[in-house]
Amino acid sequence: MANSNSSVSPSFLKCSQCSLSKLCLPVGLDAQDMNALEKIIEASSPYKENETVYQSEDHFERIFAVKSGMFKTVVIDANGNEHIVGFHLPGELFGLDAIYPQKYISSAISLGTSSVCGINYNDLEGLATKLPSLQRQLFSLMSKEVHTSQSMTVEHAADQKLAGFIITLSSRYKQRGYSETRINLMMPRRDIANHLNMAAETVSRLFKRFQKEGLLEIKRTDLNIINMEGLRQLAGCTPSE
Amino acid sequence: MKSLVVTEDLAPLLNKYDVYGPRYTSYPTALQFDESFTEENYCRHAQSSNQLPVPKPLSIYIHIPFCKSLCYYCGCNKIITSKQQMATGYLDYLYQEIEMHGKYYADDRLLQQIHFGGGTPTFLKPQQLREVMEVLAQSFHLGLPDSLEISIEVDPRTVTSNEMTELVKMGFNRISIGVQDFDPDVQKAINRVQSKAQVEDVINSARDNKVDSISIDIIYGLPKQTRASFSNTLDEIIRIKPDRIALYNYAHMPQRIPAQRLIHATDIPGTAEKLEIFTDSIRRLTEAGYIYIGMDHFALPTDSLAIALETGGLQRNFQGYSTHAECDVIGVGVSAISRINDSFSQNVTEISKYKAAILKDDLPIKRGVNLTTDDRIRADLIQQIMCDGIIDYSDFGEGHDIFFHRYFSDELSSLDELADDGLIEINDSGFKVTPKGRIFLRNIAMKFDAYLTQTKLQNTEQPRYSKTL
């Protein structure tokens, strides 16, 4: 466990001053409730690339909210193969899958320089019983997680999976107030490939094809969506989705 | 973009902008390379480059340091020898280095460009060049024949027309021929005597075998050169009509390049005459239909370089200008420079150290640099100045997550002089290099070089770079 116990200056911890408060746990909380929430949140100092937040089988204590950068959660299947279950953007929670078994199922690893807020789950549970809007937001975020993992279980053609992956990232970034057309793909291509269950070569081949078809442009890790509608169609989204 | 048409006396501008400056085949330049850069750094950049969503194709530069005789003007890393077995001994190590690099790169990264430089790459016999190509094919995945560029610098004194035929059949599709000057007195003064017939034999056999592109190197400012003598050389070049011409400036720096001490300083044309030779050359070549690409390069309008200048696909790399999409460049052999991901690295220059490193199974890296975000921004900007010559502030800023005016506020305020001299045109949304300004690309790019403080660059200082013109 790297860094997780180091403390950071108090101002860093204030949800009320965090630009992500409209997406993260504090949605709908008033100043006083927010204050109560801040008391149970512990920010870590930034993780460098490829550092572990927790490992699978570690004792469950806290869930995490991404403050900056990106994290991936990884599980190891019965054959010992790693599988990336998700990429987590600022304002998103991870570690929720540990609530039932009371131990972490996945391992969480930073991609690039990234930071998190850790929230003691017992404290959060206690606070949520007193603050209905916190409870509502917690359930809502959990439901979102369930939804995401369900949509991952459906098998699609490779190009459809990759297009869907980009569309999902785009809309998650948009929710966070970032550009929906310009996305920084900071994860290595082998991680995208692993997450979507295809070869790394396929990821690059498809990206090149999407470029040729005028759907998007890629320079280094900068992805620029040119034809959002075309990409949505390829991903099998309905136009209004 | 309109090509350069010389209608005015360029001498005042040429005098004014004739300062020491980098050639920007890389940014940061080799002066910023540092010995703390190791194989581990290289390895990390190679791995990151494999993990981009769309990894760049690969290009390889192969340095053959041997020459049969010494050309007095030359500042390249070289070894003068007539012993062919020197090359055989070197190649054994070169192959191991190629194999070591090959292991670092993902299988789907095609090798699109192979360039042999030197020294004298044609010191190697065609059979040896074939062997190098075979090792490359074993260590990398080669691009398809119609998109694979294989180029070599040819010394016409070391290649027969039969050998040239063999090279083209083997797949070499771009050759650049070192002519320098056709004048016998100049050739004697630089110790590089070669007849027109030797040059034309090589070119004819390359053409007969349908080589894609022929480039000729010539040099102005050489000893014994006069306006009249170089005019004759230009006549011959225009008659031969290569696809591309590289017109290099002879930089006399005997304190840095020992071979140049064999050149009598009194034989070198004076500054005024040298600039006349340069302007004559630009005028003659453009009148003969060549498009001025920038820096030292000219190309026929049908050549891919001229087309790329027109359509915006020009690139700049260690060998000068190119039309290839940006590649990661692997440099092998003594003194070779690699450009992988956000790094530059250079191999050791001494053969003994080169062999010692490879015997230990180490890459023979001597020094290098990890690019910072600022380096990357400036490298992209300098590349854009040297190539397309058009900078749109908001496009560039958006592409690099900066506010251009704020980021480059000092630099922008220093551009007025260039605009007053007609080298660039500035408007609200950006600036562009004028056709005349392409002669002074180095001077324009220097404004954006964070490692240059103007005080270090005055002519009075010991020169670290060659003159810009």
| B108 vs A201, A219, A220: nearest CB | A201
Whether pLDDT at B19 is above 90: no
Together in a domain, B12 and B114: no
Print the domain residue range for B438.
1-27+372-469
Together in a domain, A140 and A31: yes
Q: A2 in a domain, yes or no?
A: no
Q: What are phi and psi of A142, to 5 degrees?
A: -65, -40
Q: Among the listed ranges A26-40, B75-89, B107-121, B334-348, which one has the minimum average pLDDT value?
A: A26-40
B326 has a chain A CB within 8 A of its CB: no
Domain end, chosen from A119, A152, A185, is at A152
Together in a domain, A40 and A148: yes
Q: Give the pLDDT score at B465.
A: 65
How many C-beta atoms lie closer than 10 Å to residue A81's C-beta?
A: 9
Q: Which CATH number belongs to the domain containing residue A148 in this structure?
A: 2.60.120.10
Q: What is the H or E stretch that residue A198 is in?
A: none
State pTM to two decimals: 0.89
Together in a domain, A143 and A182: no
B25-37 residue pLDDT tens: 889 999 999 999 9
For residue A112, the chain B residue with the least C-alpha distance is: B48
Q: A240 in a domain, yes or no?
A: no
**Cα–Cα distance measured from residue A120 to residue A64, given in angstroms and rounded to the nearest whole number:** 9
Whether pLDDT at A6 is above 60: no
Together in a domain, A75 and A45: yes
For residue A199, the chain B residue with the least C-alpha distance is: B108
Q: Give the pLDDT score at B459.
A: 44
A212 has a chain B CB within 8 A of its CB: no
| A185 vs B53, B107, B399: nearest CB | B53
The answer to whether the CB of B328 falls within 8 A of the CB of B322 is no
Q: What is the mean pLDDT of residues B200-206?
A: 96
Q: Give the pLDDT score at B454.
A: 45
Together in a domain, A116 and A218: no
Q: Give the pLDDT score at B469.
A: 62
Domain end, chosen from A137, A152, A167, is at A152
Give the side-chain half-sphere CA count within 13 A for B227: 13
Together in a domain, A116 and A174: no
Together in a domain, A145 and A170: no
Rounded to the nearest angstrom, the minimum Cα separation between B340 and chain A is: 12
Together in a domain, A105 and A42: yes
Q: What is the mean pLDDT of residues A29-52?
A: 88
Q: Work out how many CB contacts closer than 8 A connect A with B.
A: 32
Q: A166 in a domain, yes or no?
A: yes
Q: B11 in a domain, yes or no?
A: yes
**Cα–Cα distance measured from residue A11 to residue A18, given in angstroms and rounded to the nearest whole number:** 10
The answer to whether the CB of B161 falls within 8 A of the CB of B201 is yes
User: ipTM score here?
Assistant: 0.86
Together in a domain, A164 and A137: no
Whether pLDDT at B461 is above 50: no
Q: Give the pLDDT score at A10.
A: 44
| B51 vs A190, A201, A218: nearest CB | A190
The total domain count for chain B is 2
Q: Give the pLDDT score at B463.
A: 54
Q: Give the pLDDT score at A11.
A: 44
The answer to whether the CB of B370 falls within 8 A of the CB of B41 is yes
**Cα–Cα distance measured from residue B129 to residue B137, given in angstroms and rounded to the nearest whole number:** 12
pLDDT band for position B161 (cuts 50, 70, 90): very high
Q: Give the pLDDT score at A32.
A: 87
Considering Cα of A166, then A168, then A173, then A175, what sign does the dihedral take? positive
- Tokens 């011959």 belong to residue: B236
Q: Among the listed ranges A138-142, A191-195, B243-247, B465-469, which one has the minimum average pLDDT value?
A: B465-469
Together in a domain, A44 and A128: yes
pLDDT band for position A44 (cuts 50, 70, 90): confident
What part of B 91-120 touches A (C-beta under 8 Å)? 106-108
pLDDT above 90: percentage of residues in chain A: 56
Print the domain residue range for A64.
10-152
Q: What is the mean pLDDT of residues B349-364?
A: 97
Q: Give ∠ CA B77-B180-B208 in degrees, rounded to 5.
A: 105
Q: What is the mean pLDDT of residues B208-230?
A: 96
pLDDT band for position A177 (cuts 50, 70, 90): confident
Q: Which residue has the higher pLDDT, B378 or A7?
A: B378
Q: Which residue has the higher pLDDT, B216 or A30?
A: B216
Q: B231 in a domain, yes or no?
A: yes
What rounded mean pLDDT belongs to chain A?
A: 87
B413 has a chain A CB within 8 A of its CB: no
- C-alpha closest to that of B298 among B389, B216, B369, B376: B216
Q: Give the pLDDT score at B2.
A: 58
Together in a domain, A27 and A135: yes
Whether pLDDT at B287 is above 80: yes
What rounded mean pLDDT belongs to chain B?
A: 92
- Tokens 């769309």 belong to residue: B54
B373 has a chain A CB within 8 A of its CB: no
Domain end, chosen from A152, A169, A201, is at A152
| B51 vs A188, A205, A208: nearest CB | A188
Together in a domain, B200 and B214: yes
- Tokens 């921004």 belong to residue: B377
The total domain count for chain A is 2
Q: A93 in a domain, yes or no?
A: yes
Tokens found for residue A230: 């075309």
Q: What is the mean pLDDT of residues B42-64?
A: 96
pLDDT above 90: percentage of residues in chain B: 80
A137-168 residue pLDDT tens: 888 888 887 777 666 656 789 999 999 999 99
Domain end, chosen from B306, B330, B354, is at B330
Whether pLDDT at B435 is above 50: yes
Q: B383 in a domain, yes or no?
A: yes
Whether pLDDT at B468 is above 70: no
Q: A47 in a domain, yes or no?
A: yes
- C-alpha closest to that of A176 among A30, A62, A79, A70: A70
A49 has a chain B CB within 8 A of its CB: no
The answer to whether the CB of B147 falls within 8 A of the CB of B327 is no
B300-318 residue pLDDT tens: 999 989 998 888 888 887 7
